[in-house]
Homo-oligomer: A and B are copies of this chain.
Amino acid sequence: MQVAVNEAIKAGERDSVPVGAVIVFENKIIASAGNEVLKNHDATAHAEILAIRGACNVLQTTVLNECDMYVTLEPCAMCAQAISLARIRRLYFGAYDEKYGGVMHGAHVFRYALHKPEIIGGVSETQCADILKDFFEQKR
């Protein structure tokens, strides 16, 4: 999760919402990314989507069923469904997101998805939440 946290911090430094994600395969990090929505002019460039695309590319597959994801924030509905489509095995996330989250909140995507990963929320929660809180406080 610390690598994901570092990706989040880097995303904040380039003025994107500070969220970071990492994908692990056989105890090695094979993809990591921070949110690049604004940097890339791409509404879909959430950290999780970029990490999934990276991991699919590294393993040359669309099925990441032996991979785990670490992400600093509860994924939105787009990312939750992407995690399901990619058949990620375990999802570890940091802060809960009551407003935009699609895992424990809102659309509760995994209730309806064909593949549901094992889910562990609240990992390094305070640290992950503080990065977001500090970012939005500085924006005011």
With an 8 A cutoff between CB atoms, is A56 at the interface?
yes
Q: Say whether A86 faces chain B, with CB atoms less than 8 Å apart.
A: yes
Among A89-97, A102-110, A118-126, the stretch that binds chain B is A102-110
Q: A43-B52, A57-B42, A107-B107 are in contact. Are A81 and B102 (CB under 8 A)?
A: yes
Interface of A is mostly: loop
Choose among B43, B53, B62, B77 the residue that contacts A38 (Cβ–Cβ < 8 A): B62
As a 0/1 sequence over residues 101 to 137 of chain A, the CB contacts with chain B under 8 angstroms (1 = contact) are 0100111110111100000000000000000000000
Query: What's the least CB distance linking A14 to chain B, in Å?
Result: 14
Indicate the member of A43, A105, A111, A112 with the most B CB atoms within 10 Å.
Answer: A43
Q: A63: which B residues are within 8 A, CB to CB?
A: 43
Query: Which single residue of chain B is at the shortest CB-CB distance from A37?
Result: B62
| Count class of interface residues, chain A | 35 or more
Contact assessment for A113 and B56 in the assembled complex, using a CB-CB cutoff below 8 Å: no
Q: Tell me if A71 is interfacial: C-beta within 8 Å of chain B.
A: no
Partner of A112, one of B78, B107, B112: B107
A77-B81, A107-B112 known; A49-B56 Cβ under 8 A: no
Identify the A interface with B (CB < 8 A): 37-38, 40-44, 49, 52-53, 56-57, 59-64, 76-82, 85-87, 100, 102, 105-109, 111-114
